Amino acid sequence: MAYRESFYRFLMTQRDPDSTDEVAQFANDAQHDQTFPKQEQDYEKLSDYLELNAGYLSSMTIFDRAYEMYREKMSY
């Protein structure tokens, strides 16, 4: 089975403290979240975690957009 990068690892490639992009801001904030499920790849598990624990995420549509970017990258 091929190695598949975790969502968190992908998200960290989107960080940019100078950007106003919502995904970049999500990545910047997630970097400081000590309990973020760093090895997780599953959409539902990540979504559940963020809905309950990520006060820094203003809208779940930002996560949806980031996860779609992740899926596209993993499909190569």
Give the type of residue at 45: K
Whether the pLDDT of residue 71 is over 90: the answer is yes
Mean pLDDT, the chain, rounded, equals: 95
Question: Angle at CA 67, nearest 5°, toward 3 and 69?
Answer: 80
Whether the pLDDT of residue 1 is over 50: the answer is no
Per cent of the chain over pLDDT 70 is: 96
pLDDT at position 2: 54
Q: Under a CB-based contact definition with an 8 Å cutoff, are residues 58 and 25 in contact? A: no
Tens of pLDDT, residues 11-24: 999 999 999 999 99
Q: Coil, helix or strand for 44?
A: helix
13: enclosing H helix or E strand? none
What is the dihedral sign for C-alpha 9, 70, 45, 49? positive
